[in-house]
Structure 1
Amino acid sequence: MHCFNQGAIVETAPAAPAQCATAPASLRAQALAALQLADPDAKCAAALALHALAATLAPDPGEQLACAAALPGHPPRPQLTDHLSVPRRSPATREGRAALIHSIAHIEFNAINLALDAAWRFAGMPEAFYRDWLRVAADEARHFLLLRDHLRAQLASDYGDFAAHQGLWSMCEKTAHDITARMALVPRTLEARGLDATPLIQRKLRQVGTPDALAAVAILDTIVREEVDHVAIGNHWYQWLCARLGLDAAAHYAALVQRYQAPRPRPPLNEAARRAAGFSDAEIAWLQQG
């Protein structure tokens, strides 16, 4: 279960943790059940259904949830490895483009998990917090399905065909005890890096110029537009939490980056997208210091 401790939500061991119910009734418990699903299609379907359900079923912010199962659920493929062990391939070849789209699809699959985890894990937040992250989970599910369909239809490949890493989920685990750190270091740090990287990826795909490459550019247009909103949600709740705790958001963010050894963004920054997602000019200048 969770309890508040100095403004952060900290996990404490329940007296007798039970395995999560097969068909939980509450919205947040269903988010936890969806997080445990291993099959990508089933997880996507659950995320989309939860977003629709959130329009009529209120989350219970006071509900204390715990689960003894390993999180998150993931399929037997792709093989998960260290990020340094994932080979780099040129997008000039079809295999290279398949590997590139696969890596983005894996990020989107992990992003479903990240949003579902935020929705179930942290008690005591406003109802809007849970609805926001269930909406993000549904968006990420659609992104994953777009990319997987592209792999199958245009690149003779599928999700699971290439090795992948769990960098996003690793930070999720590190911040499981502290909601303020989670909002600071997952959506507004790691996911914000996608705002910077996507235009560069699109440029390379345009240079390739094949029909599948140009179709991928169009898919990424949709994804980056919606990811701005996802980063903005993380920014909003980070600022809200800092205000509640009486923290200086900029100073606390710098401290969290150092404490958790969060990666700094690689230049160039997508300044327009970051401003649209709620970053101030001062924050962007600090990030550009490297």
Structure 2
Amino acid sequence: MAATAAKSRAEPAMAFNADEEATVPAVPGSLIEAAVAVLNTAGGFAKAALTERAVEAWRAGSLPLLPDAGKEVPMPPAEPARPSYVELLPPGKVSNKSRLAGIHALVHAESCAIDLSWDIIARFGVRRGAGAGEPAAAAMPPAFFEDWVRVAAEEADHFRSWHARLEEWGGAYGCIPAHSSLWSSAMETADSLAARLAIIHCVHEARGLDVYPLARRKLDGAGDKLSVGE
């Protein structure tokens, strides 16, 4: 009965844009270009799919870090493309009190985490030429790229897994408004890798860990063993 009720509430808001999800861009010629391409991809599932393809190419050794010599190294956008079907509200205006809303918040957070992983690669991983004819170069050691490519792959997997759970409860990405506080913090730290790591990956992620036990108890108390991993 609960799942049926959730489905009836969610259906009116499922306004997916087929073009945003059906068209997944081809993987560009370098990891930095792929990172920017993911950031410029609007659809949540298209973003995850392009991530998976880029990760596969990188791990296969067919995707170099930088574009070919003489080709411009793209800059990451100030804000990533977002699905038109996801309404973004100020954080205080978004409620996560219901089970459906809580799972939807996790889906949205994972989509944002995909963008954050690629942004840190594109924004901090390359030293762009300062003058005409000066080549770009890696600004970080190989382990930096390996780590963040792995994180991007994990976030894409988390996005799909949580969305599958959301669908089981009758929802879908966009059925409830979301907020963009994660990206607001990312833009506030766009000029400093140390600040980015401290604010996003220590403060925000620590908050998530702080609320996890309570969220787990709520799901467990409601008999939702699948969402708590049992």
> What's the TM-score bracket when you normalise by the shorter of the two chains?
0.7 to 0.9
Which residue of the partner structure matches residue 46 of structure 1? 50
TM-score normalized by the length of structure 2: 0.75
Which residue of the partner structure matches residue 168 of structure 1? 182
Which residue of the partner structure matches residue 253 of structure 1? none
Matching of residue 84 in structure 1 with residue 92 in structure 2: yes
Q: Which amino acid aligns with 1:85?
A: K
| C-alpha displacement of 1:41 | 1.2
Moved over 4 A (4+): 61-64
TM-score normalized by the length of structure 1: 0.60
* Distance change >3 Å, CA 120–CA 51, structure 1 → 2: same
* Distance in 2, Cα, partners of 1:36 & 1:140: 17
| C-alpha displacement of 1:42 | 1.0
Q: Which of 147, 156, 175 is the equivalent residue of 1:141?
A: 156
Q: How many residues align?
A: 189
Q: Which of 179, 186, 195 is the equivalent residue of 1:181?
A: 195
The RMSD of aligned alpha carbons is: 2.4
Which residue of the partner structure matches residue 117 of structure 2? 115
| C-alpha displacement of 1:184 | 1.5
* Distance in 2, Cα, partners of 1:127 & 1:84: 40
Q: Which runs of 5+ in 1 are unaligned?
A: 1-20, 90-95, 222-290
Which residue of the partner structure matches residue 103 of structure 1? 105
Matching of residue 215 in structure 1 with residue 229 in structure 2: no
Given that 2:27 and 2:53 are in contact with CA atoms closer than 8 Å, whether structure 1 keeps it comes out as no
Give matches, 1:1-290, under 5 Å: 24-55=28-59, 56=61, 57-60=63-66, 65-67=73-75, 71-89=79-97, 96-122=98-124, 123=126, 124-152=139-167, 154-209=168-223, 213-218=224-229
| C-alpha displacement of 1:192 | 2.6
Task: Identify which range, 172-181 or 52-61, moves more after superposition.
Answer: 52-61
Q: Which runs of 5+ in 2 are unaligned?
A: 1-24, 127-138
Percent of residue pairs identical? 37
* Distance change >3 Å, CA 22–CA 146, structure 1 → 2: closer
Given that 2:29 and 2:64 are in contact with CA atoms closer than 8 Å, whether structure 1 keeps it comes out as no
Q: Which amino acid aligns with 1:194?
A: G
